[in-house]
Amino acid sequence: MKLLQHPLTRGLDLDDPQTTIIRKRIINEKPFLKQIYQEWYGWIARSLPEGEGPVLELGSGAGFLNEYVSPLITSEIFFCNFVDAILDGCDLPFKNGSLKGIVFVDVLHHLPRAEGFFKEAARCIRTGGRIVMVEPWITPWSKFIYTRLHHEPLDTGAAEWKFPSTGPLSGANSALPWIIFCRDRKIFERDYPQLKISSIKAGMPFRYLLSGGISLRSIMPGWSFPLWKKVEERFDPWSNKLGMFARIVLERAA
């Protein structure tokens, strides 16, 4: 595992804002990984509703979604001089119905109080607005990988949608999105009737792993990305058993 570790991530404190700056550099310097983010960001942009209005991104620090969505309010939980706002996703400083959407990649499973976020999102998003996210997803294959090659905690048996916060990035439960939208879907639909689950699509069983993510070295060169995308398309019928991430869209009902 140490041989695979990216040299820039060794010994880093996950909750140090400087780590986010380093992660931003890593994404931009790893062609295979950057193409994954480009694919995700393109999908997020296409999944937002039509019409004018601001979109809030949570956890913007290491990314570049503002190249795909405009106007976009970029934000982080801690100070970063390249985002628009420092805020807590469970206490949003926006007026009722003022946002067209809220978007993020790999953020929900870091929120120690998911219920607080959903209450605030339902308040701030206008009717017809959307929450668009990419999050880790639990399948037999992903659980095998996440429990062996990923540093974040994973607890599929968690009784509640919360966990003790050790820090903004070190605190996590990678199983949380799956718990909320799959295992406890009926509870979510009962407690948040304003937030209709529009779609959930699991996928990407191999490419993120081959990219090495942010923490590990790339296993495949950037030029091979289209080839691996075609390979994954062949496995699409088995995405519910092999997918490592889910693309999830919620829509604010009247």
How confident is residue 165, by pLDDT bands cut at 50, 70 and 90? confident
Q: Is 47 helix (H, G, I), strand (E, B) or coil?
A: helix
Q: What pLDDT is recorded for position 115?
A: 97
Q: Is residue 1 a part of any domain in this protein? A: no
Q: Is residue 247 a part of any domain in this protein? A: yes
Q: Is 135 helix (H, G, I), strand (E, B) or coil?
A: strand
Q: What pLDDT is recorded for position 81?
A: 86
State how far the Cα of 183 lies from the Cα of 185, in Å rounded to an integer.
6
How many domains does the structure of the chain reveal? Answer: 1
How confident is residue 98, by pLDDT bands cut at 50, 70 and 90? very high
Is residue 1 pLDDT above 60, yes or no? no
By residue range, what is the domain housing residue 226? 7-252
Q: Is residue 119 a part of any domain in this protein? A: yes
Q: Is residue 106 a part of any domain in this protein? A: yes
Q: What pLDDT is recorded for position 31?
A: 97
Q: What pLDDT is recorded for position 8?
A: 76
What is the token pair recorded at 42?
Answer: 């393109």
Q: Is residue 179 a part of any domain in this protein? A: yes
How confident is residue 3, by pLDDT bands cut at 50, 70 and 90? low
Q: Is residue 85 a part of any domain in this protein? A: yes
Q: Are strands 85-86 and 195-203 parallel, antiparallel or unpaired?
A: unpaired
How confident is residue 96, by pLDDT bands cut at 50, 70 and 90? very high
Reported pTM: 0.95
| Tens-digit pLDDT profile for residues 113-153 | 999 999 999 999 999 999 999 999 999 999 999 998 888 89
Question: What is the DSSP-derived secondary structure letter of residue 163?
Answer: -
Q: Is residue 60 a part of any domain in this protein? A: yes
Q: What pLDDT is recorded for position 18?
A: 85
Q: Please report, for the domain that includes residue 220, its CATH number.
A: 3.40.50.150
State how far the Cα of 181 lies from the Cα of 159, in Å rounded to an integer.
14
What is the token pair recorded at 111?
Answer: 């929120």
